[in-house]
């Protein structure tokens, strides 16, 4: 039997767990662990420049791969800096294990140097957390943390590690468990067969159905099952911001994103539907608009692994708790059986009327039918940048985004055909997410194109990571839409505050991003003319081994449309341009 | 809006209670009373809380409680036939003719005088929460010096048990 110290146990457990990268930052309370990593650990460690970036990079890695991201930070400020990234992962149900250092056991509660109550601070934003009280428990706790983080509805798990328990001189038996069982935690393995039958009859009787699929389909690896079911039924599919890519954007049955900045045809299909099949989605306020006016004629089938997500804001008529992949598989089997048993049941062609209605909506205002933005201005339009990005990368890149107008443009105009390509902070809406998330994805898939769509506001929230990219040669492409404003804030101020730009203007304070990028040893390209855009972007992506920062100057006054009319609007109430509304 | 007694069996781990209490404040739910203690199995604690809400809110509360990893099982006792008890200690001013009056009142409520001083009684009363309320009303605000209530405990009637 092997004897290891607490620090060595952590290093070894990372290997045994198959961890590919540790994103972290050292400090006093974790020095024993860092020494163990240095001496023996085969798992590479990525030294970020700020702990927030460690969590976002681990998060980006997790979103792109489906495997839990791993973070190691010290106590006190190291732990608190990680909080935003933990909250981001929690809101979007991303698997993550965060190891945070803690002051020595006997100092806990004494306001020791760099002490903070990490368990207390992180409690509302973690799926679970552990404080280690005995070194010999470390292997089992780590195993449990990975199991909890990645099973059921995934989420971040924090392990708080008092420094004395990682002391190199105190060695204990190390045995990494192959499996753990928790008596108080058993995520549903299958959906209820009776409920699935009910859902099947409802779906087969639908005249105006729509599938509303969210991030749960991506996190639950159920894209394939969703595609097969949707095609079998000939149902239209719309995605939440988090679901993009689960159903192929280039497929005729895809209606685009729904919700606040959703497509006209998607929001209308929802509003006028008679049956909604909600899969791994949570009816959040950015989707529903006013709950009381939500889809008045629709019966709702809601599939989710988390019972608490069901009937939280909108009541489900047929709730099904279970993993989306297995429920969709079972649902498809039941539908096929029912159709075989009863040939009088309507087939795919029965939705002809519904589809012609949807196509009418699509032709009228669909964003992909023709440009709906004003091309008469001298500026590059932000939409054109994303269209060009999609073209140059053949719709196959991993695209992370920050938060704001550029995020919505990316969601609307980049056509994701595959899941896990779109990495964005949907729930928490965290500016500063994009660059570190792109780093995580690029490390996982070094041969793939990885782009970070951002703005000059968001990028400055974690711009220090350009240095990390230099150290580890992480050649992501930064597509920064420069408009000199906090664009989304400005849009709201235009629409609701009579254009009073309270603290949303940068004036002449912005750095020369090309020079700044060059100072970090990377390549910067500034684009101000539409005619240069495509060539410049091609050049950026042709530089396989360079991080390229594209500083693209776009129309400073552009707004994101459609946009839900709120408050008191329904799904179908939208602004379509600055002057036109439904 | 109904009062519900939610009884929770959870891991007897440090931090488990704070997760439950935190959940209530985080999601804007109300806790009227709360008590918690280990069970016959020292690895498990039994927590009982009362809260007020409509069906939708209570459903959300039970779902979110169930989502906590430390929560093993829970039951909304108010959904079925159950026994509810609360223990109360009341210190009252008891002088002159009032001493006999308070003693009589205590007997009526099947309470016990558990401590006696020259001018004070400390009375223990157990029962459902509304019985304790009635006792306080009967004694009268003027006489009451201090009230300590344990919060509601409850258990289902008959064969039903909340256990592993």
Cβ pair A244, A219 in contact under 8 A? no
For the segment A271-325, what is each residue's pLDDT rounded down to a tens digit? 999 999 999 999 999 999 999 999 999 999 999 999 999 999 999 999 999 999 9
Task: Say whether pLDDT at A369 is over 90.
Answer: yes
Task: Say whether pLDDT at A537 is over 80.
Answer: yes
Cβ pair B112, B106 in contact under 8 A? yes
Q: Which residues pair with A478 in a beta bridge?
A: A452, A549
Does the CB of A148 have a partner CB in chain B at under 8 Å?
yes
Query: How far apart, in whole angstroms, are the C-alpha atoms of residue A186 and residue A181?
Result: 9
Instruction: State which fold the B2-80 domain adopts.
Output: Alpha-Beta Plaits (3.30.70)
Task: Give the three-state DSSP class for B46.
Answer: strand
Q: Which residue has the tokens 């093993």?
A: B72
Task: Give the three-state DSSP class for A25.
Answer: coil
Spatial CA neighbour of A159 closest among A183, A129, A138: A129
For the segment A62-101, what is each residue's pLDDT rounded down to a tens digit? 999 999 999 999 999 999 999 999 999 999 999 999 999 9
Residues of B in contact with A311 (CB under 8 A): 56, 59
Task: Give the three-state DSSP class for B69.
Answer: coil
Rg (CA), chain A: 25
In the predicted model, what is the mean pLDDT of residues B112-128? 97
Instruction: State which fold the A193-365 domain adopts.
Output: Rossmann fold (3.40.50)
Annotated catalytic, A488? yes
Q: What are phi and psi of A185, to 5 degrees?
A: -145, 105
Task: Say whether pLDDT at A514 is over 80.
Answer: yes
CB contact under 8 A, A184 and B64: no
Q: What are phi and psi of A24, to 5 degrees?
A: -165, -175
Cβ pair A61, A96 in contact under 8 A? no
Token reading at A531: 């005619």
Quickly state the pLDDT bin for A344 (edges 50, 70, 90): confident
Spatial CA neighbour of A241 closest among A423, A58, A459: A423
For residue A449, what is the enclosing H or E element?
none
Task: Give the three-state DSSP class for B162.
Answer: coil
Quickly state the pLDDT bin for A479 (edges 50, 70, 90): very high
Cβ pair A446, A393 in contact under 8 A? no
Residues of B in contact with A133 (CB under 8 A): 14
Q: How far is B72 from chain A (nearest CA, A)?
A: 4
Does the CB of B22 have a partner CB in chain A at under 8 Å?
yes
Q: Is the dihedral of CA A234, A238, A242, A245 positive or negative?
A: positive
Token reading at A328: 């969709």
CB contact under 8 A, B164 and A129: no
Task: Say whether pLDDT at A554 is over 90.
Answer: yes
More confident residue, A350 or A204: A204
Cβ pair A386, A414 in contact under 8 A? yes
Quickly state the pLDDT bin for B141 (edges 50, 70, 90): very high
Pairing of strands A22-24, A69-73: parallel
Counting residues of chain B whose pLDDT is more than 70, the rounded percentage is 100
| pLDDT, position A345 | 83
Tell me if A193-365 shares its fold with A382-560: yes
Pairing of strands B2-11, B71-76: antiparallel
Q: Which residue has the tokens 């308070």?
A: B102
Residues 56-75 of B with CB under 8 A from A: 56, 59-60, 63-64, 66-67, 69-72
For the segment A235-262, what is each residue's pLDDT rounded down to a tens digit? 999 999 999 999 999 999 999 999 999 9
The architecture of the domain spanning B83-153 is: 2-Layer Sandwich (3.30)
Task: Give the three-state DSSP class for A380.
Answer: strand
Please tell me whether the interface predicted TM-score (ipTM) of this complex is above 0.95: no
User: Residue A307 is nearest to which of B26, B63, B70, comparing CB atoms?
Assistant: B63
Q: Which of A132, A184, A316 to mutate to test the interface with B (most CBs of B within 10 A)?
A: A184
The architecture of the domain spanning A382-560 is: 3-Layer(aba) Sandwich (3.40)
| pLDDT, position A347 | 77
Spatial CA neighbour of A89 closest among A437, A445, A459: A437
| pLDDT, position A349 | 80
In the predicted model, what is the mean pLDDT of residues A209-222? 98
Counting residues of chain A whose pLDDT is more than 90, the rounded percentage is 96
Task: Give the three-state DSSP class for A455.
Answer: strand
CB contact under 8 A, A311 and B59: yes
Does the CB of A123 have a partner CB in chain B at under 8 Å?
yes
Q: Which residue has the tokens 């199991």?
A: A147
Task: Say whether pLDDT at A350 is over 90.
Answer: no
For residue A258, what is the enclosing H or E element?
none
Q: Which residues pair with B35 in a beta bridge?
A: B48
What is the assigned CATH class of domain A3-173?
alpha beta
In the predicted model, what is the mean pLDDT of residues A414-438? 98
What are the start-end ranges of the E strands in chain B? Answer: 2-11, 33-38, 44-53, 71-76, 82-93, 112-116, 120-127, 144-149, 153-156
CB-based contacts of A154: which residues, under 8 Å, 6+ apart?
A68, A93, A94, A95, A127, A219
For the segment B86-101, what is each residue's pLDDT rounded down to a tens digit? 999 999 999 999 999 9
Residues of B in contact with A308 (CB under 8 A): 60, 63-64, 66-67
B17 torsion bin: left (phi>0), alpha (psi -120 to 50), beta (else): alpha
Token reading at A45: 């460690």
| pLDDT, position B16 | 95
Task: Say whether pLDDT at B164 is over 90.
Answer: no
What is the number of CB-based contacts under 8 A between chain A and chain B? Answer: 37
| pLDDT, position A469 | 98
| pLDDT, position A348 | 75
DSSP state of A365: H
Q: Is the dihedral of CA A391, A395, A401, A404 positive or negative?
A: positive
| pLDDT, position A65 | 98
Sequence spans of domains, chain B: 2-80, 83-153
Spatial CA neighbour of A51 closest among A120, A12, A100: A100
For the segment A562-573, what is each residue's pLDDT rounded down to a tens digit? 999 998 999 999
Annotated catalytic, A23? no
| pLDDT, position A1 | 75
Cβ pair A3, A172 in contact under 8 A? yes
Counting residues of chain A whose pLDDT is more than 70, the rounded percentage is 100
In the predicted model, what is the mean pLDDT of residues B118-125? 97
Sequence spans of domains, chain A: 3-173, 193-365, 382-560
Residues of A in contact with B59 (CB under 8 A): 311
């Amino acid at each position: 039997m092997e004897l290891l110290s607490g620090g060595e146990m952590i290093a070894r457990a990372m290997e045994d767990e198959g961890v590919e990268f540790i994103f972290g930052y050292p400090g006093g309370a974790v020095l024993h662990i860092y020494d163990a990593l240095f001496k023996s650990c085969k798992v590479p460690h990525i030294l970020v420049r700020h702990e927030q970036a460690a969590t976002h990079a681990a998060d980006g890695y997790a979103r792109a791969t489906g495997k839990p991201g791993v973070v190691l930070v010290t106590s006190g400020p190291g732990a608190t800096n990680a909080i935003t990234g933990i909250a981001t992962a929690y809101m979007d149900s991303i698997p993550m294990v965060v190891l945070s250092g803690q002051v020595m056991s006997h100092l806990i509660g004494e306001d020791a140097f760099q002490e903070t109550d990490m368990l207390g601070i992180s409690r509302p934003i973690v799926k679970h957390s552990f404080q280690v009280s005995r070194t010999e428990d470390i292997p089992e706790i780590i195993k449990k943390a990975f199991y909890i983080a990645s099973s059921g509805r995934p989420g971040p798990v924090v392990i708080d590690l008092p420094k004395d328990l990682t002391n190199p001189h105190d060695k204990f038996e190390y045995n990494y468990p192959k499996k753990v069982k928790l008596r108080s935690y058993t995520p549903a393995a299958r959906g209820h067969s009776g409920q699935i039958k009910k859902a099947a009859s409802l779906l087969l009787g639908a005249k105006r159905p729509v599938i509303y699929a969210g991030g749960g389909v991506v996190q639950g690896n159920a894209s394939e099952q969703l595609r097969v079911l949707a095609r079998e039924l000939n149902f239209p599919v719309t995605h939440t911001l988090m679901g993009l890519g689960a159903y192929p954007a280039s497929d005729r049955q895809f209606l685009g994103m729904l919700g606040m900045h959703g497509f006209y045809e998607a929001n209308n299909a929802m509003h006028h539907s008679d049956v909604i099949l909600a899969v791994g989605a949570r009816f959040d306020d950015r989707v529903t608009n006013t709950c009381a006016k939500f889809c008045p004629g629709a019966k709702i089938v809601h599939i989710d692994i988390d019972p608490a997500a069901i009937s939280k804001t909108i009541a489900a008529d047929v709730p099904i708790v279970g993993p989306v992949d297995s429920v969709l598989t079972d649902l498809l089997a039941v539908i096929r059986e029912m159709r075989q048993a009863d040939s009088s049941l309507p087939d795919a062609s029965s939705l002809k009327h519904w589809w012609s209605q949807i196509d009418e909506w699509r032709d009228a205002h669909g964003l992909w039918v023709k440009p709906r933005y004003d091309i008469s201005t001298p500026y590059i339009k932000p939409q054109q940048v994303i269209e060009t990005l999609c073209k140059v990368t053949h719709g196959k890149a991993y695209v992370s985004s920050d938060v704001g107008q550029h995020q919505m443009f990316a969601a609307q105009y980049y056509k994701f055909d595959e899941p896990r390509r779109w990495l964005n902070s949907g729930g928490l809406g965290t500016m500063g997410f994009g660059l570190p998330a792109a780093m995580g994805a690029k490390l996982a898939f070094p041969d793939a194109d990885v782009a970070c769509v951002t703005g000059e506001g968001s990028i400055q929230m974690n711009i220090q990571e350009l240095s990390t990219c230099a150290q580890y040669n992480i050649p992501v492409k930064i597509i920064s839409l420069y408009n000199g404003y906090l664009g989304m804030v400005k849009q709201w101020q235009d629409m609701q505050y009579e254009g009073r730009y309270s603290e949303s203007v940068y004036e002449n304070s912005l750095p020369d991003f090309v020079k700044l990028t060059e100072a970090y040893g990377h390549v910067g390209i500034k684009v101000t003319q539409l005619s240069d855009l495509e060539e410049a972007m091609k050049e950026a992506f042709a530089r396989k081994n360079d991080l390229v920062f594209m500083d693209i100057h776009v129309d400073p006054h552009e707004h994101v449309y459609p946009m839900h009319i709120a408050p008191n609007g329904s799904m179908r109430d939208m602004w379509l341009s600055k002057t036109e509304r439904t | 809006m109904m009062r519900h007694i939610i009884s929770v069996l959870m891991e007897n781990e440090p931090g488990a209670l704070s997760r439950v209490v935190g959940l209530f404040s985080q999601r804007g739910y109300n806790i009227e009373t709360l008590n918690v203690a280990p069970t016959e199995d020292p690895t498990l604690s039994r927590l009982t809380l009362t809260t007020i809400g409509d069906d939708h809110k209570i459903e959300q509360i039970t779902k979110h409680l169930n989502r906590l990893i430390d929560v093993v099982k829970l039951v909304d006792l108010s959904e079925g036939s159950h026994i509810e008890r609360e223990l109360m200690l009341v210190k009252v001013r008891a002088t002159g003719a009032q001493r006999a009056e308070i003693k009589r009142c205590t007997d009526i409520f099947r309470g016990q005088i558990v401590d006696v001083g020259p001018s004070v009684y400390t009375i223990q009363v157990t029962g459902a929460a509304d019985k304790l309320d009635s006792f306080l009303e009967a004694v009268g605000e003027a006489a009451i010096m201090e009230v300590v209530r344990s919060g509601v405990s409850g258990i289902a009637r008959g064969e039903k048990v909340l256990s592993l």
